[in-house]
Amino acid sequence: MITRRGFLKFLGGGVGGMMALGGYSFAFEPLVRLNVTRYTLTPPGWTPGLKLRVVALADIHACEPWMSASRIASICAHANTLGGDVTVLLGDYATGMNLVTRYVHSDEWSKALATLSAPLGVHAILGNHDWWEDKAAQQIGSGDTFGHRALRDVGIPVYGNQAVRLEKDGHGFWLAGLEDQLALLPGKKWNRQWMTGLDDLDGTLAQVTDNAPVILLAHEPDIFPQVPKRVSLTLSGHTHGGQVRLFGRSPVVPSRFGDRYAYGHVVENDRNIIISGGLGCSIAPIRFGSPPEIVVIDLG
């Protein structure tokens, strides 16, 4: 039989453990840790001889104290040391929560991102929070958001259902960027009950004019079942790896497919997608088992 003293020791240990766990989840993992997660693959249809390193940053969610402009600049400085041929930004620069001490303006986070550099450039798409937090864009239902303007103003091209052909060592490849799949919130004005996407997969891929491999940038991974084999690799963010991962699974994932596209490299029917765990937090400033990460992909 457990004694009162033993029970109190057990309870104290439990409380201490919970406090330590809470401190790690709220302070250390989201604020201090930064992983570099590497993938190496040669997707079907990849051009022989084309060796390409892609550095990907996702879900920055700029706000203080969790993701200040100075921290973003520090992450960018680290990304610049990773030897990427091309750097891609996978959306959600705006904060996604109210538990902040200060909102970081788009002029600040965009100037921090402007410190990124790569031989073949820095290329961006937007995420759902970049649309949701722009009330003017929500009212219009289309057009530029403050995210589009902020990135373009610092020289970073933003792809909204657009494709561009790049070249390395005489070998071409395409970057194709989708507009967000959850861009417009429900509202009476638009007679909508569900979030509406502005993505156009078919129209984007129709801009590809040769047989060079295609890398698709899509903030939400839920588009992946519709992506044709013509696309060599899809890169996504959005899920944050569930923000909490236990034993390789996430209890809650913002995807209609649940844990299927929560995190990492997924291969389905000879098609490849890599889902970044991202850098910031949304809803609540908690990360456990899903530390902030920069993703490095070596292709070929």
Domain CATH code at residue 52:
3.60.21
Q: Maximum distance among all alpha carbons in the chain?
A: 76
CA gap 291, 125 in Å, rounded? 22
For residue 18, give its domain range: 1-32
Please give the pLDDT value at position 286.
Answer: 87
Condensed to tens digits (0 to 9), the pLDDT of residues 259-285 reads 999 999 999 999 999 999 999 999 888
Let me know whether 149 and 295 are in one domain. yes
User: Taking 90 as the threshold, does the pLDDT of residue 21 lie above it?
Assistant: no
Please give the pLDDT value at position 14.
Answer: 44
Question: What's the whole-number mean pLDDT along residues 273-300?
Answer: 94
- Which secondary-structure segment (H or E) carries 102? strand 102-103
Let me know whether 52 and 10 are in one domain. no
Let me know whether 286 and 265 are in one domain. yes
User: Taking 90 as the threshold, does the pLDDT of residue 20 lie above it?
Assistant: no
Please give the pLDDT value at position 248.
Answer: 78
Q: Which of 13-27, 161-175, 217-231, 273-287 has the lowest mean pLDDT?
A: 13-27
Let me know whether 62 and 105 are in one domain. yes
Sequence-distant (6+) residues with CB within 8 A of 224 are: 218, 234, 236, 261, 266, 268, 271, 273
Let me know whether 69 and 25 are in one domain. no
Let me know whether 46 and 20 are in one domain. no
pTM of the entire predicted model: 0.89
CA dist 37 → 60, 154, 293 (Å): 16, 27, 6
The residue type of 214 is V
User: Taking 70 as the threshold, does the pLDDT of residue 87 lie above it?
Assistant: yes
Please give the pLDDT value at position 99.
Answer: 86
Q: How many domains does the chain have?
A: 2
198 or 252: which carries more pLDDT confidence?
198
CA gap 131, 142 in Å, rounded? 9
CA dist 253 → 26, 98, 237, 258, 261 (Å): 19, 20, 12, 6, 9
Let me know whether 10 and 153 are in one domain. no
Let me know whether 89 and 10 are in one domain. no
Let me know whether 157 and 8 are in one domain. no
What letter does residue 204 receive in the DSSP assignment? Answer: H
CA gap 146, 133 in Å, rounded? 9
Condensed to tens digits (0 to 9), the pLDDT of residues 222-258 reads 999 999 999 999 999 999 999 888 877 888 899 999 9
Let me know whether 178 and 293 are in one domain. yes
CA gap 44, 227 in Å, rounded? 14
Let me know whether 104 and 2 are in one domain. no
**pLDDT bracket for residue 10 (50, 70, 90):** very low
User: Taking 80 as the threshold, does the pLDDT of residue 25 lie above it?
Assistant: no
Please give the pLDDT value at position 191.
Answer: 55
